[in-house]
Amino acid sequence: MGKFITFEGGEGSGKTTQIKLAADWLKERGIPVLATAEPGGTPLGRKIREILLSRKSCAIGAEAELLLFSAARVQHVRETILPALEAGQWVLCDRFTDATLAYQGFGRKLDVEFIRTLNDFSTCSLKPDLTLLLDLPVEAGLARAKKRTAGICPEAAEDRFEREERIFHERIREGYLSFAANEPERFRIINGAADVESVRREVCLHLSALP
């Protein structure tokens, strides 16, 4: 059985950047690795991602949003993650169940206990071996995301989550920090405001500490 490592954090926290670097680091050490992301990771997941993150999407209520993220996840776990773990790969996943608790629970204020039950159902009770939380002030993360969007195209619109008020993102950060405090054996908090190389070193340190 491989290892299942999730990367979490708010907008612009550097997960995508660090997953690429971590995958390279593991490959250099001869460890088979699969880098994947939510929502996504399967053909169905990519279609759902398009609906959820489209810049000109139709109205999506909080409950429908929760079920769409969960539908993408159940397919991702069964079609991609579990087979990879069974084949001995290390799976690096950009967001997982903690993102649903943080965004739909703390952000959208849906019932957190219900989300935990739904998470359990949609993951076949799969839990990460390690969760790396890239934490940084909301303002800094949003500024990075804005800069990146502007870099794609100066007229590019923000996605549905980037358009949310700052207080929404503050609740998400608070949620993540509370999960980390409640499960210190699974979570490692990394200062996401540090430079890319410093964050990379810390990520690799935690990976190398895995039993």
CA distance 27 to 126: 24
Query: Rule CB under 6 A: is residue 171 a binding residue for ligand Z5A?
Result: no
For residue 31, the number of C-alpha atoms closer than 13 Å in the C-beta half-sphere is 21
Q: Is 9 in the site for ligand Z5A (CB under 6 A)?
A: yes
Window contacting ligand Z5A (CB under 6 A); options: 78-86, 100-108, 120-128, 179-187: 100-108
- Check binding of 80 to ligand Z5A (CB under 6 A): no
- Which tokens sit at 32? 């088979």
Instruction: Enumerate the H helices of the chain as residue ranges.
Output: 15-28, 43-53, 62-76, 82-86, 97-100, 112-122, 138-152, 166-182, 196-208
Give the sheet arrangement for strand 90-94, strand by strand.
Answer: 33-37, 90-94, 4-9, 130-135, 187-191
Contact call for residue 38 and ligand Z5A (CB under 6 A): yes
Question: Considering CB under 6 A, how many residues would be counted as binding ligand Z5A?
Answer: 28
Q: Give φ, ψ of 194 to 5 degrees.
A: -70, 170
Nearer to ligand Z5A, 103 or 176 (CB): 103
What is the C-alpha separation between 91 and 61, in angstroms, rounded? 31
Reduce the DSSP state of residue 187 to 3 states and report it. strand
Task: Output 90 or 103, the one with its CB closest to ligand Z5A.
Answer: 103
Contact (Cβ atoms closer than 8 angstroms) between residue 26 and residue 207: yes
- Residue 199 lies near ligand Z5A (rule: CB under 6 A): yes
**Shorter beta-carbon distance to ligand Z5A: residue 69 or 90:** 69
| Whole-number Å distance between alpha carbons of 43 and 55 | 20
Q: Which stretch binds ligand Z5A (CB under 6 A): 31-39, 56-64, 81-89, 124-132?
A: 31-39
- By CB under 6 A, is residue 69 in contact with ligand Z5A? yes
Residue 138 engages ligand Z5A in binding (rule: CB under 6 A) = no
User: Is 202 a binder of ligand Z5A (CB under 6 A)?
Assistant: no
- Asked if 190 touches ligand Z5A (CB under 6 A), the answer is no
Stretch that binds ligand Z5A, among 12-20, 75-83, 125-133, 202-210 (CB under 6 A): 12-20
Write out the residues near ligand Z5A by the rule CB under 6 A: 9, 11-17, 37-39, 53, 69, 94-95, 99-100, 103-104, 144-145, 148, 159, 161-162, 195-196, 199
